[in-house]
Amino acid sequence: MNLSTIKTVIVLLFKWVLICALIGFFSGSASAFLLVALEWAAATRENNVWIIWLLPIAGLLIGLSYHYYGVIAVRGNNLLLEEYEKPVAKIPLRMAPLVLFGTIGTHLFGGSAGREGTAVQMGGAIADQFTSFFKLDKPDRKTIIILGISAGFASVFGTPLAGAIFALEVVYFSKISLKSTALSFVVAYFAYYTVELWQVHHTQYAIPFVPDFSLTTLAWIIPASLLFGLAAMLFSRSTHFWGKLFATYFTYAPLRPFVGGIIIATVVFLMGTTKFIGLGVPTIVESFSTPSGYYDFLWKILLTGFTLGAGFKGGEVTPLFFIGATLGSALSLIIPLPIAFLAGLGFVAVFSGATHTPIACTVMGLELFGTEGGIYIAIACFIAYLASGSVGIYHAQIVKGAKYHLYQKLKRTKRASF
């Protein structure tokens, strides 16, 4: 290798480390602000429950802002996946403030949503601005989008390894370069440590006791994991169903969250509890020590699918944590395994099934709960992934491989039988 080549390599290396540092810092800072803002929104809502009646007004404002200023940005995470697969136009920077304040409004006034979608969209929008600044070509732009997804996910959940792998796995069946793979980990840690720099902390979960590996334990985990996969399928289909229903009956998009807000506020009032709105983190934490009601996960599926389908903003992942943890917690009443152990498995397995990312979810389980239950976490994530069907929470995600071919074969067999 001559001196000229060495200089070129050093310049390229410096450029991409600089890009990762910039994306990591700005995305991590945006996630830190989001985490603090959502904590404030939850506390304000719980101390002033009456403001839930303002949810329709908040929904109308969110709908109007996207209708007039974010026509492209309204596609959310799907826009990132679409631009990765077939690059057309730069992701508008306005996506970041639109989804940020839309999500804060959703949580403040009583919608049921998460935060991952917000962080990933902010990360993607911020990252794509560097495409023109550094005059990157189309292959490099694919790398930039992966970096944005990785930075957003890693920073909002405090799981850099899972964030890096999630960004790669969610676009797995598209072409991924070795450079994208390496840089995804670099930017994830930049974003993660940026949140640490701002002294913003993530919720801690723990599985105090993991059973020794045995066929008996495995025999209980398999059916539980199948249920986790079916819960993921129900959530994905529910979200898509409500989205199509609102689009069919309300052609003027801003009316969808307005009408949806009226219905959600009324349902919450009639239920007499705010347990199933917002992120639901207190309920998730409680599920690790106290058995959840058998209906808790169903209510979260219904309210989150309805909230997002109506056009409110946020993410799906924290609600998926809620669904999985409460389902696992409820199963502890009939499955003779530790409650925290089942809640932890459900926590990551339902997420795995809904996003088609079993590897990232397994790694997240290891980061959050430790390596002791690694084999069980992996088994639960992969079984839930296989059991969750071919439809996930992201319309634009390409799903191929063994699972895809299995479901295609089942469809052909079903059609041939009629």
Give a yes or no: residue 415 inside a domain. Answer: no
Report the predicted TM-score, pTM, of the whole model to 2 decimal places: 0.94
CA of residue 244 relative to chain centroid, distance: 20
Q: Is residue 210 part of a domain?
A: no
319 close to 280: Cβ distance less than 8 angstroms: yes
Predicted confidence at residue 398, as pLDDT, reads 67
Q: What is the 3-state secondary structure (H, E, C) of 324-335?
A: HHHHHHHHCCCC
Q: What is the C-alpha separation between 187 and 151, in angstroms, rounded? A: 6
Read off the pLDDT of residues 215-268 as tens digits, 9 standing for 90 and up: 999 999 999 999 999 999 999 999 999 999 999 999 999 999 999 999 999 999
Query: Of the residues 147, 167, 197, which one is the last residue of a structural domain?
Result: 197
**Neighbouring residues of 266: CB distance < 8 A, sequence distance ≥ 6:** none
Q: Identify whether residues 307 and 381 lie together within a single domain.
A: yes
Measured in Å, how far apart are the chain's first and last C-alpha atoms?
65
Residue listed under structure tokens 């397994």: 362
- What the block records as the tokens of 239 is 């979200």
Rounded CA gap, 297 and 313, in Å? 20
Q: Are 57 and 260 in contact (CB under 8 A)?
A: no
Q: And the tokens for 236?
A: 């994905």
Shared-domain flag, residues 80 and 222: no
Residue 208 lies inside a defined structural domain of this protein: no
Phi/psi of residue 135, nearest 5 degrees: 55, 55
Establish if 103 belongs to a structural domain: yes
User: Tens digit of pLDDT for each residue in 34-66?
Assistant: 999 999 999 999 999 999 999 999 999 999 999
Residue 76 DSSP label = T
Evaluate whether residue 21 is within a structural domain.
yes
Boundary of a domain, candidates 197, 224, 244: 197
Please work out, in degrees rounded to the nearest 5, the angle formed at the alpha carbon of residue 384 by the alpha carbons of 382 and 388: 125
Looking at residue 409, its pLDDT comes to 55
CA angle 288, 106, 110 (to 5 degrees): 65
Residue labelled with tokens 């239950």: 373
Indicate which CATH number applies to the domain containing 175. 1.10.3080.10
Q: Is 371 helix (H, G, I), strand (E, B) or coil?
A: coil
Which pLDDT value is given to residue 7?
A: 84
Is 304 found in the same domain as 169?
no
How is residue 186 written in tokens? 């670099």
Number of domains in the chain: 2
Domain of residue 303, residue span: 215-405
The Cα–Cα gap between 405 and 229 comes to 18
Nearest to 391 by CA among 268, 232, 264, 277: 232
Environment class of 146 (CB within 10 Å of its CB; exposed 0-12, middle 13-18, buried 19+):
buried
Task: List Cβ neighbours of 141 (8 Å cut-off, separation of 6 or more).
Answer: 83, 87, 128, 131
The answer on 374 and 281 residing in a single domain is: yes
CA distances from 82 to 91, 142, 170, 349 (A): 11, 11, 12, 26
pLDDT at residue 86, rounded to an integer: 85
Same structural domain for residues 114 and 12? yes
Same domain, 243 and 113: no
> Token pair 């492209």 is at which residue?
72
Name the residue type at position 256. Answer: R
Instruction: Establish if 414 belongs to a structural domain.
Output: no
Which H or E element spans position 78? helix 77-85
Token digits of residue 48: 């002033």
pLDDT of residue 121: 96
Indicate if 293 and 350 belong to the same structural domain: yes
CA–CA dist 201, 158 (Å, integer): 8
Query: Which residue carries 């550094």 as its tokens?
Result: 134
- The number of beta carbons lying within 10 Å of the beta carbon of residue 3 is 7
Q: Can you tell me the distance from the alpha carbon of 172 to that of 191, in angstroms, rounded to the nearest whole number?
A: 22
The verdict on residue 416 lying in a domain is: no
Counting as low any pLDDT under 70, the low residues of the chain are 1, 173-175, 398-418
Q: How far apart are CA 325 and CA 292, in angstroms?
A: 9
Cβ–Cβ under 8 Å, residues 228 and 380: yes
Among 138, 162, 197, give the residue marking a domain's end: 197
Spacing of C-alpha 61 from chain mean position: 24
On whether both 103 and 184 belong to a single domain, the answer is yes
DSSP 210: -
Based on the fold, state whether residues 225 and 345 are members of the same structural domain: yes
Compute the C-alpha angle 27/32/38, nearest 5°: 120
Kindly report the number of other CB atoms within 10 A of residue 412's CB atom. Answer: 10
Q: Is 4 helix (H, G, I), strand (E, B) or coil?
A: helix
Give a yes or no: residue 411 inside a domain. Answer: no
Asked whether residue 143 falls in the same domain as residue 275, the answer is no
